[in-house]
Amino acid sequence: MQSDNTHKLLGIRHLTDSTYVLEIERRGMDFEAGQHILLGDASSLDKREYSIYSGTEDENLEVLIKEIEEGLVSKQLKRLEQGRPVEIEGPVGFFSIEKQDIEAKKKFLFIASGTGIAPFHSMVKSIPDLDYTLLHGVRHAHEAYEMEAYERDRYILCTTADDDGDFKGRVTDYIKQHEFDSDTVCFFCGNFNMIKDAMALMEKKGIPPAQLHAEVYF
């Protein structure tokens, strides 16, 4: 008998040598775009937090995962075969867009590094007509994970190791060189140091602290 927190793995989509998307049966799970789950192989006690990648209306649940050298769970999940059970706790978290900000048609700035783009993928898929700009910081342009999901003029790829993105440098370099409307609502997800530096820069640009929302991803 299937337990309440066990879900079947439906498939795996490899985006790079180390980064992949797991598609998992949803089993009626409700979530808000931006929330995360605790996920692991059902045969293991080890679990890790991952932001939900799929939209709130999608039939199945997706998570975006990067296999890291010291990452036990990311290695286990990458090896799982289709049909195997995974365990999910959640969803949890308050990293989501306020309904009143959507209704007020606010401008949103999403700032992500690496797989920290996951909650923004969910937000864009879940909320129609969102007025957003997405800054995505990676080393190489091939790490622009499924960029076709975003309106091209709203997605800005910042690369540090090659010249094939939209901007050469870190997302913090881009922020330093550009101005933003003071009523912009900002969301940050990714590396802790990036978030800390980017939030400080946005405050200097005149964005009130109440409009800065962060999710530390690793």
Sequence spans of domains, the chain: 6-92, 99-216
Confidence of residue 35 (pLDDT cuts 50, 70, 90): very high
The mean pLDDT of 125-148, rounded to a whole number, is 97
CATH class of 6-92: mainly beta
β partners of residue 50? 37
Note the pLDDT tens digit of each residue in 148-206: 999 999 999 999 999 999 999 999 999 999 999 999 999 999 999 999 999 999 999 99
Confidence of residue 218 (pLDDT cuts 50, 70, 90): very low
Q: Give me the residue label for tokens 């994970």.
A: 145
pLDDT at 112 over 50: yes
Going by the DSSP 8-state scheme, the letter that residue 142 receives in this structure is G
Confidence of residue 3 (pLDDT cuts 50, 70, 90): low
User: What pLDDT sits at residue 13?
Assistant: 97
The mean pLDDT of 24-39, rounded to a whole number, is 97
Choose among 170, 106, 94: nearest CA to 132: 106
User: What pLDDT sits at residue 2?
Assistant: 53
User: What pLDDT sits at residue 216?
Assistant: 79
- 48-51 and 61-66 as β-strands: parallel, antiparallel, unpaired? unpaired
CATH assignment, 99-216: 3.40.50.80
Confidence of residue 34 (pLDDT cuts 50, 70, 90): very high
- 212-216 and 185-190 as β-strands: parallel, antiparallel, unpaired? parallel
Q: Contact 155/134 with Cβ under 8 angstroms?
A: yes
Query: Could you tell me what percent of the chain has a pLDDT over 90?
Result: 95
- 155-159 and 167-168 as β-strands: parallel, antiparallel, unpaired? parallel
